[in-house]
Amino acid sequence: MSAKDENAGLSRSGCLGLFVLGLLFVISLVAGFIYFVTRPQGGEIEAGERAAIAACWERTKGADSERAFTVESCQEMEKQFLRKFGEKP
């Protein structure tokens, strides 16, 4: 076996090792992101979103030109709240 053959074997195992480490790194990033996105929301966040929805509905009492768009925005905020917290605001 020549020195050239030994170096070829080392480079293949080195590349495989780097590939495996890179793959583990990517998997850990994805797992961390999934955990961060799916963790339960705290009471402060829920209260803040309730206040934002209430403020949105207060703005609908303003000018008629923006009223339709604002009502749609408020309804969408309520849908997202229901999806996130499982109850109406």
Q: How is the chain classified by DSSP, letter by letter?
A: --HHHHHHHHHHHHHHHHHHHHHHHHHHHHHHHHHHHHSPPPHHHHHHHHHHHHHHHHHTTS-HHHHHHHHHHHHHHHHHHHHHHSS--
Q: What is the pLDDT of residue 59?
A: 85
Ranges of residues in the chain whose predicted pLDDT is under 70: 1-10, 40-41, 63
Residue 32: per-residue pLDDT: 93
Nearest to 76 by CA among 56, 46, 60, 48: 56
| Model pLDDT, residue 5 | 55
